[in-house]
Amino acid sequence: MGEHGAPKRAKGANRESAPEPGRAPAPRPATGTAAKDTAKTGTEARGTAQAGAAKSGTARTGTAKTGAAKSGTARTGTAKAGAARTGTAKAGATASGKRRTAAADPSRTAGPEAHRAAKPESRLAMVRRARRINRELAEVYPYAHPELDFRNPFELLVATVLSAQTTDLRVNQTTPALFAKYPTPEDLAAAVPEEVEELIRPTGFFRAKTKSIMGLSAALRDDFGGEVPGRLEDLVKLPGVGRKTAFVVLGNAFGVPGITVDTHFMRLARRWKWTESDDPVKIEAEVATIFPKSEWTMLSHRVIFHGRRICHARKPACGACPITHLCPSYGEGETDPEKAAKLLKYEKGGFPGQRLNPPPDYPGRPAPPLGASG
| Residue 371: predicted pLDDT | 80
| Residue 43: predicted pLDDT | 43
The rounded distance, in Å, linking the Cα atoms of 102 and 96 is 10
| Residue 373: predicted pLDDT | 56
The rounded distance, in Å, linking the Cα atoms of 310 and 349 is 9
Give the number of other Cβ atoms within 10 Å of residue 56's Cβ. 10
| Residue 372: predicted pLDDT | 74
Per-position pLDDT tens, the chain of length 374: 444 444 444 444 444 444 444 444 444 444 444 434 443 444 444 444 444 433 444 444 444 344 433 444 434 444 444 444 444 434 444 444 444 444 334 443 344 455 555 589 999 999 999 999 999 999 999 999 999 999 999 999 999 999 999 999 999 999 999 999 999 999 999 999 999 999 999 999 999 999 999 999 999 999 999 999 999 999 999 999 999 999 999 999 999 999 999 999 999 999 999 999 999 999 999 999 999 999 999 999 999 999 999 999 999 999 999 999 999 999 999 999 999 999 999 999 999 999 999 999 999 999 999 887 55
Give residues with Cβ within 8 angstroms of 29, minimum separation 6.
35
Query: How far out from the chain centre does Cα 30 lie?
Result: 109
Length of the chain, in residues: 374
Give residues with Cβ within 8 angstroms of 235, minimum separation 6.
157, 228, 229, 241, 245, 246, 249, 250
Do the beta carbons of residue 268 and residue 306 sit within 8 Å?
Answer: yes
Local structure of residue 233 (DSSP, 8 states): H
Three-state secondary-structure class, residue 209: helix
Q: Report, as residue numbers or ranges, the catalytic residues.
A: 244, 262
| Residue 1: predicted pLDDT | 43
| Residue 140: predicted pLDDT | 98
3-state secondary structure 44-107: HHHHHHHHHHHHHHHHHHHHHHHHHHHHHHHHHHHHHHHHHHHHHHHHHHHHHHHHHHHHHCHH
| Residue 118: predicted pLDDT | 59
